Amino acid sequence: MKELSQEEWQKQLKNDKEAVILDVRTEEEVEEGYIPNSKNIDIYKGQGFINEVEKLDKSKHYYIYCRSGKRSSQACTLLDQMGFSETYNLLGGFSEWEGEKTTD
């Protein structure tokens, strides 16, 4: 796991052909807005989260965020333990995100 600032995250993401953005917040939090093209898998779902994550391609690079950066840090550690090649945690999470946002 690497901790990335918003600037590092956006710059690296733009140039990464293997990038997947993973949002580990709850559905209620996602309804308030999310980073475009992100896949939502709620880390609070426990085994359900692990089951969903196991379906993902471990060779891709995962850019993971939550509201503040705590849950996404846990998710990065978990994915690392499961054999994922590269995980990146967004420092400060979505609450400090100043990049592009989408709401449904």
Distance CA 77, CA 24 (A): 13
| 66 in catalytic set | yes
Distance CA 6, CA 14 (A): 12
Return phi, psi of residue 25, to 5°. Answer: -85, 175
Choosing from 35, 53, 66, 76, which is the catalytic residue?
Answer: 66
Distance CA 38, CA 31 (A): 13
Distance CA 76, CA 90 (A): 10
Catalytic residue numbers, as ranges = 66
